[in-house]
Amino acid sequence: MSTATIAGKEVHVNDEGFMTEYDEWNEDLGRELASMIGIDEMTDEHWAAIHFLRSDFAEQQETPTLRRVSKVGGIPTKQLFVLFPKKPAKKMAYIAGLPKPKGCV
Amino acid sequence: MTATDTSTPVVPDFGDDDDSDRKICFICSKGNLDMAYPALIMANGALGEGIETHIFFTFWGMDMVNKATVDDLKFTPVGNAAMHMPPGMGKLSEKHMPQILGGLPGMTGMATKMLKKQIADLEVPEVHEFLELLSEMGANLWACKMSVDMMGLEREDLIDEVDDIINVSEFMDISEGAQMIFV
């Protein structure tokens, strides 16, 4: 376990750079993490997805899969690919300060 | 590394800068419910990783994209030596089901119902909904021309998500350089 300074805050991260402590996250960090992976503008739609991930994780103790974000979170899968291109599930988890999703579907 | 390491943040590599042309093709040749899922689940994973994904439906696999059959795929224990006794029967559940039981009347219906429930419990969609989802994620679905002809089907008999009916040589063009998985 190591730490990194992101958006002026020292946070715990794993070897890949994903944050490991749920409570260390805030929106400024999320915005900074997004910009580090090329998402320069976080729109309301981006935030809706990120906030769903975080609230669902708080309840389930597991990062939701793409299907869960669309089915339970109500954001169409197609839109997730537009908002977080190529690898939406992992990118959303990274920005939300959560582990990568474990589920297959 | 120790808990006191503080460094420039490591940024995960999401492959955005790679000019990867990784491509994957699945050939679905079976129309049994249990044989429908492997390609769908792997295709879902591939699309989630930003990999170009194609699925070619041929022979019995046509039942996966035929409107008349897609919602009625069945699972049979017949000929499946790995079929276990149903869960919830204690030690007996660990045993394989005697083949002769698989052939009893009503067994296919019962086994199908059980498998569908197990799949639904994992929040995995049914086949038609799964194909809609994959298509939304950018999968290309192709129906085999020879199978369509052989089964006397028309374009309108196939679910809307099918991109086109193509012959083998067109499929060879499409799948050039792809990793192929035959189911």
State the count of interchain CB pairs (< 8 A) between A and B. Answer: 85
Domain that holds residue A87: 2-95
Nearest Cα neighbor of B65 from B150, B112, B131, B126 is B131
Residue at A104 is within a domain: no
Residue at A105 is within a domain: no
Say if residues A57 and A65 touch (Cβ distance below 8 Å).
Answer: no
Interface-testing mutation among A3, A63, A100, with chain B (most B C-beta atoms within 10 A): A3
Tell me whether 0.90 is exceeded by the ipTM.
no
**A 19-38 residues with CB below 8 A of B?**
36-38
Token digits of residue B155:
């374009």
Beta bridge partners of B56: B27, B142
Residue at A59 is within a domain: yes
Residue at A100 is within a domain: no
How many domains are contained in chain A? Answer: 1
| Distance (Å) from the alpha carbon of A74 to chain B's nearest alpha carbon | 14
3-state helix, strand, coil in chain B (%, to 5): 40, 15, 45
pLDDT per position as a tens digit, A34-76: 999 999 999 999 999 999 999 999 999 999 999 999 999 999 9
What does pTM read for this prediction? 0.86
**How far is the C-alpha of B169 from the C-alpha of A72, rounded, in Å?**
42
Q: Residue B1 has what pLDDT? A: 45
Catalytic positions of A, please?
104
CATH of B23-182, one of 3.90.550.10, 3.10.20.30, 3.40.190.10, 3.40.1260.10: 3.40.1260.10
- Could you tell me if residue B24 is left (phi over 0), alpha (psi between -120 and 50 degrees) or otherwise beta? beta
Residue at A103 is within a domain: no
- B7–chain A Cβ distance below 8 A for any pair: yes
Domain segments of chain B as ranges: 23-182
| Distance (Å) from the alpha carbon of A67 to chain B's nearest alpha carbon | 9
Whether the pLDDT of residue B31 is over 90: the answer is yes
pLDDT per position as a tens digit, B63-97: 999 999 999 999 988 888 888 888 888 998 889 98
Burial (CB count within 10 angstroms: exposed 0-12, middle 13-18, buried 19+), residue B87: exposed
